[in-house]
Amino acid sequence: MRSSPLIFCGSSHPALGKEVASLLGTTLGKLSISRFPDGETHIEVLEDVYGKDVFVLQTIALDPNQYLMELLIIIDALKRASAKSVVVIIPYFGYCRQDRKDKPGEPITAKLVANLLTSAGTTRLITLDLHARQLEGFFEIPVDHILCQPVLMEAVNNKISRDRVVVAPDLGSIKIAKKMATLLHADLALIEKNRINPHDVKMTLIGDVRGKDVLIGDDMCSTAGTLAAAASKCKEGGANKIFGAITHGLFVSDALDRIEKSPLDQVFVTNTIPQNHTSPNKIVTLSIASLIANALQQLLRT
């Protein structure tokens, strides 16, 4: 690839795009993004990309339908402008939770999005902390899957005591929690959830947290219901300080208020999704721009 990267950024996360470009010693490529009167997206590439390797950064969150369609149009515009290759960087891969059929009549939307990205002209994908590793197999193009746990654990390690335990808030997060426990040299505990009826869930803490600092680890946080409930369960179990470590902070609805009212002392989250809210005192945002910049530098050396 070329030694000087040409990076474009959609409208979903311009701050992260600028940070990545700055770390690589360049600026974002010029791109016009506008709307027709009926709401359709209009894209115009304002750079010469003929025969060049280009990068596009877009996170598919908070307004996923709009940002996904915008990304597809940007890719198409670049390919039609004769770009040699289009490497797409998706910090948060939207629709990642719809990765299998749980019952007849349901779509596998993550596979559909993979097909759309490939058909639009994506030649390589860079993404961070996929909800399920099998999503890599949905693509017929190379996928670089970057893990964010080392960045999160480096920050957590300075806050949490040596008498520590990592808690998986449900069975689905056990692999992530185990990875965090390994990085922190900590014990592992689990919260098991059993549904009693359509409205009530019984939570059982499996493991000892009494007198210990607790880290609740997961890949994403949407409404913070699971995170806050897990923190309350750990507090009941005699935990000392309680922290959260989340890669993708969606924080929809009243999630931030729920975190503020919970026993959580602090929640560490990356900026794969813009954290444009007035962050509560408990939220600590960590940048993953250097992880993306390093991945691009490796590609540029090939």
Global pTM reads 0.93
Confidence of residue 249 (pLDDT cuts 50, 70, 90): very high
| pLDDT confidence of residue 195 | 63
Name the residue with tokens 């059993």.
194
Each residue's pLDDT tens digit, 117-160: 999 999 999 999 998 777 888 899 999 999 999 999 999 998 99
Pairing of strands 242-249, 213-221: parallel
**Tens-place pLDDT, residues 29-84:** 999 999 999 999 999 999 999 999 999 999 999 999 999 999 999 999 999 999 99
Cα distance between residue 189 and residue 167, in whole Å: 5
The dihedral built from the CA positions of residue 156, 213, 277 and 71, taken in this order, carries a sign that is: positive
| Percent of the chain's residues with pLDDT above 70 | 95
Q: 249 versus 277: which is more confidently predicted?
A: 249
| 212 has catalytic annotation | no
Element (H, E) at 214: strand 213-221
pLDDT of residue 12: 97
* Banded model confidence at residue 198, pLDDT cuts 50, 70, 90: low
Please identify which of the residues 159, 193, 241, 282 carries the catalytic annotation.
193
Taking the C-alpha atoms of residue 282 and residue 286, their distance in angstroms, rounded to an integer, is: 13
Res. 201: pLDDT tops 80? no
Secondary structure element (H or E) that encloses residue 69, with its range? helix 64-80
**pLDDT bucket at 203, cuts 50 / 70 / 90:** confident
| Helix/strand/coil for 217 | strand
| SS3 assignment, position 26 | coil
Domains and CATH numbers, the chain: 6-147+289-300 (3.40.50.2020), 149-271 (3.40.50.2020)
**199 has pLDDT over 60:** no
Supply 4's token pair: 């000087």
Mean pLDDT over 176-193 rounds to 94
pLDDT digits (tens, 9 = 90+) for 256-293: 999 999 999 999 999 999 997 766 689 999 999 999 99
Q: In whole numbers, what is the pLDDT of the chain averaged over residues? A: 92
Q: Which residue has the higher pLDDT, 23 or 194?
A: 23
